[in-house]
Structure 1
Amino acid sequence: MAELPITLHHAHQTRSMRALWLLHELDVPFELVVHPFGKNLRDPAYLAKSPVGRVPALEIGGQTLFESGAITEYLCETFPEAGLGRAPGDPERADWLVWVHFAETMAQHCAALTQQHIALYEDHMRSPIVMKLESARLAKCYAALDQRLQSRDHLLDSGFSAADISCGYSVYSGRHFAHIEPFAALSAWYARITARPAFQKSLPPEGAPLYGDKFYEAPA
C-alpha cells in the first residue's frame, strides 16, 4: 500500500489519546498536531475538521474523520495487516465492536467527572451528587471489564486488539476518579497493556497532563 498522509489532531489526555496510541501500535508515519485543551478548538479552521470542536480529528488520504470510535474502525480497516481489528466475517467481530464502543460508555462518565472536578473550578459550581453517581457508574464499568477479563489476558480470546486500546484509554482516564485496585483481573490487564511501548509513546510530556497524578475523591 502506498504511504497515506496522516495528521492527527490531539490534546493531551483526552479521547484523542486512543487514536495516538493506535497509530503508534500500527507503526505508520503520521504528523501530530497538539492543541491546548480549551477554546482554540472552536476556531473556524478547526471546526471545519471537527464540527463541535472536539479531538480527535484525523486527516488521512484526503479525508477527515472525527469521533474516536469511527477513527479506530477506519484505521484498523485501512491497515488490516497489523491485526488490531476484526473484519466482517471474523468470529470475534461482534465482540471486538462491543468492546471498542464500550470504551465510550466509560468515557462519558469520565467526562462528567472531569467537568465536575476540574473544569468547574469553584466549589459552588459542583454537584456532590453527580460526582458520587458518576464515580459509582464508572466502577460498574470496571466490574464489567473485570468479568470479561476473567481467565483472559486481553478482551478478545485471540489477543491484543484495538478494543484493548479503546477501553485501556478510558481506564487510564477513569482511574483518576474511581479506584481500579479492587478489580484484580482488570488491574492485571491494565498493567500489561500500559507496559506496551506504543502506550508509553502516547503519554503527555512532562508538565503537560490534564489530570496530573492526583486522585479526585468523590465527596462523602
Structure 2
Amino acid sequence: MIRLHHCAQARSFRTLWLMHEMGLDFEFVHHSFFDKSLRHPEFLALSPAGRVPALEIDGRVLFESGAITEYLVETRPDCGLGRFPGDEDRADWLEWLHFAETMGQHIASLTQQHIALREDWMRSPTVMRLEAKRLEKVLEVVDRVVERHDWLLPSGFSAVDTNVGYGVMVARRFVPADLLPAVDAYFGRLQARAGFQRALAEDGPAEIYARDFYEAPDV
C-alpha cells in the first residue's frame, strides 16, 4: 500500500506527479492548510513538522519530497526515472534534485511575503523585489540548460524534472513567463505530459496561489 498525503499547490505535488509518471497505484489523502488538520496528532505522527508530503510506503513514512524522489526511483528502478551510480548523468541528476530546494527557498520567501503575511504592514517590498530577482537568477540556470535539450538531462526526462518542474510552475507566479523563453518552452513540454495532467487534475482547488501573478509593490 502506498498512501500520499497532499495539499493543493504544495511541494507534495512533486510526489503526486512523480508517482503518476512512474505508473504507481496509490491512495490519496487531501489535506487543507487552513483546517488545522496538519496539526492533528495523527498527522504529526506521520510528518513531525506538520507539512506535506507525507508518504506511507513499504511499511514506513517519508516526509521530505527530495528524499521521497530518491527513494521511489531507487526502490522501483524499472520506472527509468532515476540515474544511479555509474551512470553518466548521475552527478547531474543529484545536482538538479538538490537545486530544486534552492528554487524552493526563494519561492517560500516570496510566498510568505505575498500571501502568508496578510497585512501590508507585515510585508517588505524590498524583500519581495530582492527574492524575485534571486528567483529569476535561479531560473536562468535552468534556462541555459533547457535551451540546449528538452529536459534537464541530455539522456531524457527523469524524476528531477518533476522536482524542478514544480518549482518552475510556481515560480511563474513571481517571475514573468516571457522573461525566459527557454524555461517557458520547457514548462510547455512538462504540461503536455500525461503524468503532469493527471497530477494537476488531482491537485485540488487552489488554496495558496489565488492569483496568476504576484508583483512586488512600488515603494
TM-align CA RMSD: 1.3
Provide the rounded CA distance (Å) in 1 between the counterparts of 2:217 and 2:166: 25
TM-score (norm 1): 0.94
Give distance in 2, aligned partners of 1:15 and 1:205.
Answer: 11
Deviation at 1:121, TM superposition (A): 1.1
Question: Given the alignment, which residue of 31, 38, 41 partners 1:41?
Answer: 38
TM-fit CA distance, 1:122: 1.1
Q: Which amino acid aligns with 1:28?
A: L
Question: In structure 2, how many angstroms separate the alpha carbons of the residues matched to 1:70 and 1:16?
Answer: 12
Q: Give the AA of the match of 2:71.
A: Y
Deviations 1:56-102 (A, max 9, x none): 01110101001100000001112111111101111101100111111
Report the CA distance between 1:21 and its aligned residue: 0.1
Alignment CA distance shift 1:205-1:13 (3 Å): closer
Amino acid at match of 2:216: A
Comparing 84-93 and 208-217, the one that deviates more = 208-217
AA in 1 matched with 2:25:
P
Matches within 5 A, 1:65-80: 65-80=62-77
2:60 aligned residue (50, 59, 63): 63
- Distance in 1 between residues matched to 2:53 and 2:18, nearest whole Å: 12
TM-score (norm 2): 0.94
| Map of 1:19 onto structure 2 | 15
Distance 1:85 1:209 in 2: 31
For residue 14 of structure 2, give the secondary structure of its aligned residue in structure 1: helix
CA contact (8 A) 1:194 1:200 kept: yes
Deviations 1:147-181 (A, max 9, x none): 12232111000100011111000011111111131
| Aligned mate of 2:214, from 210, 213, 216 | 216
Distance in 2 separating the partners of 1:105 and 1:195:
25
Map of 2:159 onto structure 1: 162
> Could you tell me whether the CA contact under 8 Å between 1:142 and 1:180 is conserved in 2?
no
- Unpaired stretches in structure 2, ≥5 consecutive residues: none
2:181 partner amino acid: A
Q: CA deviation at 1:205?
A: 5.7
Instruction: Determine if contact 1:11/1:34 at 8 Å carries over to the other structure.
Output: yes
State the match for 1:29 in structure 2.
25
**Residue 144 (1) aligns with residue 103 (2):** no
Shift of 1:213: 4.3
Runs of 4 or more, structure 1, over 3 Å off, are 204-209
Identity %: 56
Residues in 1 aligned to 2:204 and 2:54: alpha-carbon distance in whole angstroms: 24
For residue 58 of structure 1, give the secondary structure of its aligned residue in structure 2.
strand
Distance 1:183 1:60, change over 3 A: same
CA distance in 1, matches of 2:16, 2:205: 19
Task: Kindly indicate whether residue 132 of structure 2 is the aligned counterpart of residue 135 of structure 1.
Answer: yes
Q: Is the 8 A contact 2:5 2:30 kept in 1?
A: yes
Alignment of 1:105 onto 2:113: no
**Distance in structure 2 (CA, Å) of the matches to 1:46 and 1:154:** 35
1:208 positional shift: 3.4
What corresponds to 1:179 in structure 2? 176
Q: Unaligned regions of 5+ residues in structure 1, if any?
A: none
- From 5, 11, 20, give the equivalent of 1:9: 5
Paired amino acid for 1:46 = F
Q: Deviations over 1:116-154 (max 9, x none)?
A: 111111111111111111111100011010112232111
Number of aligned positions between the proteins: 216
